[in-house]
Structure 1
Amino acid sequence: MSDHERTFVMIKPDAFARGLVGNVISRLEDRGLKLVGIKVINMPEERAEEHYAEHTDKPFFDDLIEFITAGPVVPMVWEGQDATRQVRQMIGETDPLEADSGTIRGDFALDLGRNVVHAADHEDEGANEREIAIHFDEDELIDYDQHDAGWLYE
């Protein structure tokens, strides 16, 4: 199906420290998305700078790098129909104060600088491919038949 895609999602150090990893993964699985890559890492500073390269000139860049490298993160790749848009809708607005209740950020975050999860932007062409390539080698992503796919898609 041509509208199936892979999308990058990362659970941030605040969510890891608060024990929210399972909650975030469960929500994505419950939606019907297919997990095809996952790891737990302490993000190296160089990788963090590459990941957030579009923010290099912004005043919050140093704080962002310090935060994302402060504790374990969980980079993941999810697959599904319009996966990037599905995930962005599920996580809610970047600022938790603007995120709807029922979204991941709306339910679990209070502060913009501690907003639980990162997800590739569906409006940024190429963001998924770039972010996936930063965090995963192709052989770290798996392909398998999702047993309930017939109940998720026409």
Structure 2
Amino acid sequence: MVKDEYTLVLVKPDGVKTRHIGDIITRIERKGYNIEALKMIEPSEEKLRQHYFDKVDKPFFPELLEYMTEGPIVGIVVSGTNVIQAIHNMAGATNPGEAEWGTIRGDYGREWPDGNLRNIIHTSDNVKSASREISIWFPEFNIKDKQ
């Protein structure tokens, strides 16, 4: 039997600023997935360094840090069968200019003249990263207690 998974969704500052929080939650709920936790977050540099630990040494990290601190983000823990891959697919390609219509990034994202990649949403890409990311943004949420 397949058990439910948990994944993290972050509505990034551009998604919050352009008022797409409700649109994103609606898409998740229409697919029948469960919202387990939800909160508005003022992301700190420390948490962003933990979250993007594999990108801290990249030349684009300062721009990523600047983008992710432009405003609040919304963190959402979502559960359901094979939810990690489903939500990742729902988000669309990382670059909003390449994302297909019908995906969150394809419908709500776009490229900007400053060259910063603002792509509306973050989704976990596998079970290990989902668990790690949830523990960063929702330290009070214990996945092990839910299974």
Tell whether the structures are fold-level matches, with TM greater than 0.5: yes
CA distance in 2, matches of 1:113, 1:20: 17
Q: Per-residue displacement from partner, 1:76-98 (whole Å, max 9, x unpaired)?
A: 10000100000011010001122
TM-score w.r.t. length of structure 2: 0.89
Assess if the C-alpha contact under 8 Å between 1:9 and 1:118 holds in 2: yes
Q: Is the 8 A contact 1:37 1:140 kept in 2?
A: no
Task: Tell me how many residue pairs correspond in the alignment.
Answer: 141
Instruction: Kindly state the Cα deviation for residue 7 of structure 1 after the two structures are TM-superposed.
Output: 0.4
What does residue 48 of structure 2 align with? 48
| Alignment match, 1:103 | 103
The residue number in structure 2 matching 1:91 is 91
Aligned to 1:133: 135
What do the CA deviations read for 1:56-86 (whole angstroms, capped 9, x no partner)?
Answer: 1111101111111110100110000100000
Contact kept in structure 1, 2:134 and 2:141, CA below 8 Å: no
Match of 1:117 in 2: 121
Shift of 1:3: 3.6
User: Matched residues in 1 for 2:51 and 2:9: separation?
Assistant: 12
Counterpart of 1:38 in structure 2 is 38
CA contact 1:43–1:68 (8 Å) conserved in 2: yes
Query: Which amino acid in 1 is paired with 2:21?
Result: V
| SS at structure 1 position matched to 2:54 | helix
Amino acid in structure 1 at the alignment position of 2:31: R
**Counterpart for residue 29 of structure 2:** 29
**TM-superposition CA deviations, 1:83-115 (whole Å, max 9, x none):** 000001101000112211100000000126111
Instruction: Provide the alpha-carbon RMSD of the alignment.
Output: 1.8
Q: Distance in 1 between matches of 2:103 and 2:89?
A: 8
Q: Which amino acid aligns with 1:129?
A: S
TM-score, with length taken from structure 1: 0.85
- Residue 151 of structure 1 aligns with which residue? none
Give CA deviations for 1:93-146 in whole Å, capped at 9, x if unaligned.
Answer: 001122111000000001261110000113xx5100100000112448896xxx
% identity of equivalent residues: 38
